[in-house]
Amino acid sequence: MCRLRIPGGIIDAHQLRGMAAIADEAGDLFGSALSRTGISLYMLPDDPMATVKIAKEAVEFARKAGHRSIEITNLLNVAETAVYLGLWDDSRRAFEDLHQRGLVAWHIQWMRGLEAILAAMSGDPQRAQVLVTEGDDAFKALGAEAEDVMLASQTTKLTTMGFIALANGDFDASFRDAYRAIELDPVGINSGAAMVIAAHGALWRRDVDGLRRVHDATLRLRGRSIAAERRACEAGIAALEGRFEDAAELYRDTIEQWRALDNILEIAQCELDMVMLLGAERVDAFVVKEAREIFERIGATVLVRRMDHLTGPAN
């Protein structure tokens, strides 16, 4: 995820909404696009679905204004947020638009990484590696120019690699890379996504100390998504400590928090974590059914296989 510098350093949501209203009334397409970019980023911790919706609006205003940089930034923000929400068709549509645009090296690395996540989750690790390499090669060509985007590039790359490792079943690497992104920028815009990945990695390698570290990291950030991840960490800690009844209750609460945010990927991933940690015999059959249906619908082949390994194939 990437922030966009706004003239005057305005970051307050009320000011941004005021800017949007004024720009819309004046027919200022550039102002409408720029202000919506800021609003969409501000909304991310509390309402990622709104981030996708408002960023799409920003794309349209920027396109009409002929401002390619803002259009591309918002297309990438749509694609990335949609990846983490499980809205993978939205991500793919954004990729189709981006393939028609002239992208700078940083954008290429960013997009290839997101495409690699979907390839890995779809069960094609070889394609994922090709995409990562293409992105890295493009970014290396920047040379000294890379310094301006170095931190954002590092945390985006680490978060991406953590997600790919999670898909590939390398839970040590998943935790290592995602947690490193948190360490580099503890309150950065990529930290929330990194925490989700690091937590899943810690759970699947049954690392309660690592999970506690992720939990502590969530205390630095605001927002409903972070609150849901914090509760997911508490559920996982309880399960790893053998407090299965507490864990089951905490997981039910976590899933409802993700449901309120319309984050279908995290609903299903938490249900998968629940089955892995508590055992299928302790989990309602609906949990298994819902998770598998979500994974199948979005095309998360590796997660369908993981559920089948825990419960046996669906009838």
3-state secondary structure 225-288: HHHHHHHHHHHHHHHHCCCHHHHHHHHHHHHHHHHHCCCHHHHHHHHHHHHHHHCHHHCCHHHH
pLDDT of residue 18: 76
Element (H, E) at 65: helix 48-65
Write down the pTM of the prediction.
0.92
Inform me whether the pLDDT recorded for 73 exceeds 70.
yes
167: how many CB neighbours lie within 10 A of its CB?
25
Residue-wise pLDDT tens digits, 252-310: 999 999 999 999 999 999 999 999 999 999 999 999 999 999 999 999 999 999 999 99
CA 183, 188, 190, 194 torsion-angle sign: positive
Distance CA 212, CA 108 (A): 35
CA 290, 287, 194, 48 torsion-angle sign: positive
Distance CA 237, CA 234 (A): 5
